[in-house]
Amino acid sequence: MRKKCLVVEDVPMIRRIIEMMMGRFECEVSVASDGAMALSVCKVLVPDLILLDWAMPNMDGLTFVSELRRMQAGNKPKIVMCTVKSRSQHSSMAMAAGVDEYIEKPFNIEKLTEVLMRLGFC
């Protein structure tokens, strides 16, 4: 059974690049352009992994994580916060909200692979 990944990113070009990177891991990829849309997706299909932007319109990444973790199956997905916000200043806030890993943009496939291996996704 293929693992399911949700890419949540408001910038179409970045969303597409991350989606293409995830193609290497032979998983089923869904996309959402903001946290509100992602929450709707998660109510129907709970992914194994969520790659999540922090700053988005309608619902930001931290609000999404808080809402998701309150849902019945909300503890299932591993969440990687993908953001331009520096790790030193923001990762503890993200982890406290329920994020499993933190990766700074821009990142390459090698860095993403390293993070996904730590999570046991690949």
Q: Answer yes or no: is 34 within a domain.
A: yes
State how many domains the chain has: 1
Is 58 among the domain residues?
yes
CATH of the domain at 100: 3.40.50.2300
Residue 122 lies in a domain: no
Task: Please check whether residue 28 lies inside any domain of the structure.
Answer: yes
pTM above 0.85, yes or no: yes
Give me the numbers of helices (H) and strands (E) for the chain, helices first please: 5, 5
Cα–Cα distances in angstroms (integers) from residue 58 to residues 4, 9, 55, 78, in the given order: 24, 12, 10, 22
| Residue 49 near residue 18, CB atoms below 8 Å | no
Is residue 102 a part of any domain in this protein? yes
Supply angle C-alpha 32, 1, 107, rounded to 5: 45
Q: What is the pLDDT of residues 1-55, one digit of tens each?
A: 899 999 999 999 999 999 999 999 989 999 999 999 999 999 998 999 999 999 9
Distance in angstroms (rounded) separating the CA atoms of residues 17 and 21 = 6
Residue-number span of the structural domain to which 53 is assigned: 4-113
